[in-house]
Amino acid sequence: MHVIFVEPCFPYNQRKFVRALRSVGARVTGIGEVPPESIPAETKSWLHAYEQVPSVVHEESMMEAVKRIQAREWVDRLEATVEAHIMSTARVREARGIPGTSVQTSFLCRDKPAMKEALRKAGVPCAQSLGSDSPDEIREFAKSIGYPLIIKPRDAAGAAGTWKVSNDEELESAIHESYADRGASVAVEEFIEGHEGFYDTITVGGKIMHEFITHYYPGVLEAMRTRWISPQFITTNRVDAESYDEVKAMGKKVIDALGIGTSATHMEWFFGPKGLKFSEIGCRPPGVGAWDLYCAAHEMDVYKEWAMAIVHGYPSERPSRRYSAGLINLRPDQDGRIVGYDNIELLDQLGPAIIDHHIPPVGSPTQPVEAGYMANAWVRVRHPDYDQLRHLLDTIGKTVKARAR
């Protein structure tokens, strides 16, 4: 099988998808923005061919690159795994007659108001929402629904560019900062109180081949706005527990309703006083190294399993479910440069429980809180018992401190 893979070099983990495709027997042609001579030697060894474009989100350039490749040989699949690349890839894929995720499905997985409208029609419980470029319409929605509300770009991923508003003054500020008062269309949603997690799958023809469930501590919006918190996310090895049946049933319903075929998926959900509520889904893998946690927790190569789905349509192995695994982000106490760490020796004491870690050396510049879970220092840990793993991560967060000035 010949697979075109979009942007094989950046971000760093993109090369893992190329390696996986090659390992299951695919010929892989890359389309990317870096010059061919800048491709790392190992990644280059996995590529059958390569086309450079000015931008992988510039559809005309992508179209011409795919035409050149198709003029040389048959193309079976055109794949992208980064959220920002999904729509341009889908449009080119459909225009060139290549199988894969459709433009309609890609649009519904990118545009939050359209996504929720489609899912409400399918009976999936969602927050009340509105897509609008009218400040007056947004104000009326706020008046009818009440506060708090969430305002974010229609195609946002995670908490990027997201505002939580609790009163009229904050609403006006968010309308201005989101450019909704200058013609930008935004998603406005009812704020759902509750625990937040995500349900990830690899699907083949709309059927779930692999599934994983992960929890946030605390929720993403709070984590990305509060410096003192050392935020965590933990993937569980209790996926088969009865308590997750409702989440898994919702995930299957969402995949069916949006017409997701052979793809990775990443679905966010909330559970609280209003019950289980759908948040959003992407037809791509999760970010911030979540698949690396799945690999460590379930003793399998998840990247290879994705490639098996794309190339062969069946799995090559099953998850062991032996471990739960989690990541904790250790933020510096202020912005500036790292001057040291308190109690860093704890990581050595935890020994085999530590999967890996990133501890920027003294003198390194800090990154802001909103840069995410893998900005600054982080540690990944695994343990057979989910509750004991939570205790370990909490201990790390309370004990190991990054200092800056």
Assigned domain for 30 exists: yes
For 275-324, what is each residue's pLDDT tens digit?
999 999 999 999 999 999 999 999 999 999 999 999 999 999 999 999 99
- 54 and 201 fall within a common domain: no
- 40 and 165 fall within a common domain: no
Query: The domain that contains 60 carries what CATH number?
Result: 3.40.50.20
Assigned domain for 321 exists: yes
Assigned domain for 107 exists: no
How would residue 160 be classed by pLDDT, with cut points 50, 70 and 90?
low
Instruction: Report the share of the chain in percent with pLDDT over 70.
Output: 99
- When pLDDT is averaged across residues 137-153 and rounded to a whole number, the result is 92
Quote the CA–CA distance of 329 and 288 in Å, as a whole number.
Answer: 11
Asked which of 162, 190, 218 is the last residue of a domain, the reply is 190
State the first-to-last Cα distance of the chain, in angstroms, to the nearest integer.
Answer: 53
CA atoms within 13 A on the CB side of 178: 31
- 206 and 160 fall within a common domain: no
Asked which of 190, 208, 240 is the last residue of a domain, the reply is 190
- 175 and 264 fall within a common domain: no
| Tokens at 226, concatenated | 């509060």
- 321 and 383 fall within a common domain: yes
For 246-282, what is each residue's pLDDT tens digit?
999 999 999 999 999 999 999 999 999 999 999 999 9
- 65 and 156 fall within a common domain: no
Q: pTM of the entire structure?
A: 0.92
- Domain span at residue 278 reads 195-404
Query: The domain that contains 147 carries what CATH number?
Result: 3.30.1490.20
Query: The domain that contains 379 carries what CATH number?
Result: 3.30.470.20
- In sequence order, what are the residues at sequence separation of 6 or more whose Cβ sits closer than 8 angstroms to the Cβ of residue 24? 304, 307, 308, 311, 312, 316
pLDDT at 393: 98
- 154 and 250 fall within a common domain: no
Q: What's the gap between Cα 61 and its chain centre?
A: 26
pLDDT at 403 > cutoff 80: yes
- 199 and 185 fall within a common domain: no
Total number of domains in the chain:
3
Quote the CA–CA distance of 199 and 402 in Å, as a whole number.
Answer: 31
Asked which of 58, 81, 100 is the last residue of a domain, the reply is 100
Quote the CA–CA distance of 361 and 80 in Å, as a whole number.
Answer: 34
- When pLDDT is averaged across residues 219-232 and rounded to a whole number, the result is 92
- 144 and 19 fall within a common domain: no
Assigned domain for 276 exists: yes
- 252 and 381 fall within a common domain: yes
- 253 and 344 fall within a common domain: yes
- In sequence order, what are the residues at sequence separation of 6 or more whose Cβ sits closer than 8 angstroms to the Cβ of residue 108? 114, 115, 118, 258, 259
Angle between helices 302-311 and 290-298 (to 10 degrees): 100
Only one residue has tokens 């990830």, namely 200
- 365 and 238 fall within a common domain: yes
